[in-house]
Amino acid sequence: MELGVSAPERRGEVKLSDGRALGYAEWGPRDGTPVLFFSGAAMGSRLGFGTHLLDEARVRLIAVDRPGLGASDPRPDRTLADWPSDVAALTRALELPPFGVVGFSQGAPFALACAAAGLPGAVAVVSGQDDLRHPGFAGALASDVAGMLDAVTADQAAFETSFAQSAGPELLWKIAIDASSPVDQAVYRDEAFAAAYRESLEEGFRQGAAGYARDLALALSPWPFTVESISVPVDLWYGGHDVSIVHSPDHGATMTTRIPGARRHLLSEAGGSLLWTHAGEILRTLLSRLSGGR
């Protein structure tokens, strides 16, 4: 199976008003419909998806490094509410027309923050990390996850320091493999995918682990926006074989009821890696939503 993980065709960075650099990688035609990609935990912008489909689909895929990861400078004391302003600056600098956003795994809260700010025309959340503090998940979380939530609540700075001391590319790779179903392990161990994924983790930790630790803390903290206020179209995609304890405890069912007009796609045969195994379907649906279709 072609997984669409070719190396970026172009790389660049935008200088923001506070002097920081925001790095990104691109695939597909420059005049294609822009789709911004917010990747998963600790990943740099090296790893795209569906790159073999972009020319025919006329999609310009732009993977953006969050602050402190990859080629993006850190943003001290950043919150989830800060991310939309960085994204807005990027879209202005690149003079993008209306665009879509795909948020994978830990990139999901960042995608939804942009949706709440009204920036994209449509959003796809794929194997997304959920709002794990929602009351409906009380008692349903794995003990490790519940413990992290408690630790962030007690002392976020100490939580970040602890994770930054222990995290690295090899640990994140091991977590991805060990915490996956056989369906996903088959994808992650594909030779081309494994090489691209591991390169993206090396990129993500290029500046150390502080950027990843902050991302994790922000995803586990109370989100500074309400998903109930989102008015742009949102599709949530999950695989029935996704067994990750930090994605959604109910494969997006609760989140779908909370976001007005959201649609849930639960693919029983897929795993958490469906962003790569079902890239065409995800892109086609996002493009349809951008054009006002269903």
Beta bridge partners, 125, equal: 103, 236
Classify strands 21-27 and 33-38 as parallel, antiparallel or unpaired: unpaired
| pLDDT tens figures, 193-245 | 999 999 999 999 999 999 999 999 999 999 999 999 999 999 999 999 999 99
Which residue segments constitute the domains of the chain, with CATH numbers given?
10-290 (3.40.50.1820)
Q: What is the pTM for the complete model shown?
A: 0.97
CA pair distance 55, 89, nearest whole angstrom: 26
Please give the mean pLDDT across all residues of the chain. Answer: 96
CB-side neighbour CA atoms (13 Å) of 35: 35
Give the position of tokens 């790569």. Answer: 276
pLDDT digits (tens, 9 = 90+) for 156-175: 999 999 999 989 999 999 99
**Radius of gyration over every alpha carbon of the chain, rounded to an integer in angstroms:** 17
Q: For 78-113, what is each residue's pLDDT tens digit?
A: 999 999 999 999 999 999 999 999 999 999 999 999
Residue 34 CB contacts under 8 Å (≥ 6 apart), including other chains: 59, 60, 62, 91, 94, 96, 97, 99, 100
HSE toward the beta carbon, residue 125, CA cutoff 13 A = 32
Q: Encode pLDDT of 13-34 as tens digits.
A: 999 999 999 999 999 999 999 9
